[in-house]
Amino acid sequence: MGAHLRRLRTTRLMNKRVAFAAQFINLSLFGAFAICDLSACGRSPSQAEMASHFREGGGPDWLFVSGGHINFDANRASLLREWLIAHDTDWKSASLSDFDPAKTQLLTDNCAVEIDGDRIVVSFERDKKDTDSTIYVQRRLSPSERSFWNTNIEQIKMQPLGNLSH
């Protein structure tokens, strides 16, 4: 009877370990799916998805500068959003860590844009009611695309100092 009792205890212990391992695996898979859902599993947004986020307008439209930000007008914001919509290819996944406060950054209504030399990083909320739905994408800029962004940024910087806000 003693050997049978030991086997029964061992079997119960093994069943508990197996159940724990199965539960751990299920939670791990759930976590992976949740993370995958939050980061869109590396999937870049489609042109339609980007267009739906960038077409709306409504401000604020800011260029961040040392000590505050410069407001820029709705026409310039629209021009920048249209560029983002028109250039819907070659976007790769990015993350919050790809944003660097020391780089040139713009905020236009519902997205943040960072220009870093020949790279642009963009973030926006897939679901505006859910701050955990932030999408981060990046792509390389051609020389003409860099020129577009640099020209627009320089023109924004020429706004009267009265538009400088803190």
Separation between Cα atoms, residue 138 and residue 127, nearest integer Å:
19
Return the domain boundaries, the chain: 1-42, 45-161
**Pairing of β 111-116 and β 92-93:** unpaired
Given a cut of 70, whether residue 145 has pLDDT beyond it is yes
Residues 166 and 151 sit within 8 Å (Cβ to Cβ): no
pLDDT at 36: 40
Distances in Å between the Cα of 27 and the Cα atoms of 22, 23, 24, 38, 83 are 9, 6, 5, 16, 42
Mean pLDDT calculated for residue range 21-33: 45
Q: Which helix (H) or strand (E) holds 116?
A: strand 111-116
Q: What is the pLDDT of residues 94-122, one digit of tens each?
A: 998 998 888 899 988 678 899 999 999 99
Name the more confident of 162 and 43. Answer: 43
Of 68, 58, 51, residue with least CA distance to 159: 68
Mean pLDDT calculated for residue range 78-101: 88
Q: Report the chain's mean pLDDT, rounded to a whole number.
A: 74
Name the more confident of 132 and 30. Answer: 132
Largest CA-CA distance found in the chain, in angstroms, rounded: 93
The residues, any chain, with a CB within 8 Å of residue 68's CB and separated by 6 or more, are 164, 165, 166
